[in-house]
Amino acid sequence: MTKLFLESTMVQLTSFEWSRMSEAEWVDSESDRVLVGGLGEEYAPLKDEPALFRKFAELDDTEAAFAGFARKYGDYKVLDLTMRHVRGAESSSPLSGHPLTHWQQERQKLAQAVRLWEALKSGHVGGVVDSDVKMEPTGDAVRVRFKRPADSKWETITSLPKSSSDRRAVQTALAALVTRGCAGVNTALAVSGPKYRGVGVGLTFAVSDLMGAMWLQLAMAIDVPREHSKCEGCGEWWDATGARSTRDYCSEKCRQSIIRTRQDKARELFDQGLTPAKVVAAMTKEFGVTTTPEQAKRWAAASKNRRGARGGGADCIFHAIPDTHSTPCRTAFHVISDTDAHDAGHRSS
């Protein structure tokens, strides 16, 4: 019970807000292209976007991808004043922004850590050994090294006994990378109120920027552990921890969208004169779902009824049910590898 209590309150007690970037655009600086913009709407990344680290890690290293991310979620870090003057920028006040190479490096570091985590979860670390992590014999020990994304040079993390496995090396590298990423995140105590246990003061985190928040998300996902999936409706990552294995959507709104899409496609195929068997084959190929001719007919009929009800006008209005899926977390932001047989993702409660 204590563990569940801590996991459910840590993020709720973290008062970290960040601003989306308004009017984000790339401008030329003296040495690189810089993404600049103003302060937009504020939001709470840890509470509102529990899988944000996934979204950032999988971005393409392009100006368009980073600008889109900044408009939606904000700049990854606050700048020093000495970096705020961009040559050629027309503004009455200094603009803040980071060079493209910095965006790329930050994303690549986080993506590397996610890659190591995924390798450990799958049980197949061979895909990252020698490409991201390697062990070099030195006397009675081995040096664990990882490849830095910024310059592709190998950096030594620590030494392990010579008998250490590849898995242990990957665990050690992941722990070191996430700990570095969380260097700007501190633990703190906050007034939690009467609805919480104890004296009304709870353990939480002090987060200073979006990059630190995303590393913290990864650390907590490793430690709890958490599962994330891509929504079939909107294509966004969502926290699927505890959800049914057959659930492919992040919210009721997206579930309804998926249903409408399949219904409309079934109607379209039947209107083309395809037989029920061919409709089923086409639906399976496009959506990857297993259905029957009877189900396909029901989908088509539902689509026709919906179109008839609105008279060919605007889309039907569906009343979405709020998704109450919570996002628990743990009490520490660092990652510790225990043994080769029991990594952070398989510790017992």
pLDDT tens per residue across span 113-135 = 999 999 999 999 999 999 999 99
Q: What is the mean pLDDT of residues 244-266?
A: 71
pLDDT score, position 345? 41
The secondary structure of residue 47, as a DSSP letter, is H
Query: How far is the C-alpha of 23 from the C-alpha of 336, rounded, in Å?
Result: 41
pLDDT score, position 152? 92
| 317 or 59, higher pLDDT | 59
pLDDT exceeds 70 at position 243: no
pLDDT exceeds 80 at position 47: yes
pLDDT score, position 276? 80
pLDDT exceeds 60 at position 4: no
Neighbours of 261 (CB within 10 A): 16
Q: What is the mean pLDDT of residues 37-60?
A: 91
Give which of 323, 292, 298 is closest to 50, Cα–Cα: 323
Give the containing element (helix H, strand E) for 279: helix 276-287
Delimit the domains of the chain by residue range: 1-247+325-349, 252-310
pLDDT score, position 20? 93
Query: How far is the C-alpha of 73 from the C-alpha of 16, rounded, in Å?
Result: 13
| 215 or 204, higher pLDDT | 215
| 268 or 40, higher pLDDT | 40
pLDDT score, position 194? 58
Q: What is the mean pLDDT of residues 295-310?
A: 72
- Whole-angstrom Cα Rg for the chain: 24
pLDDT exceeds 70 at position 274: yes
| 231 or 280, higher pLDDT | 280
Contact 117, 219 (CB under 8 A): no
- Strand, coil or helix: what is 213? helix
pLDDT band at 108, cuts 50/70/90?
Answer: very high
The overall average pLDDT reported for the chain is 76
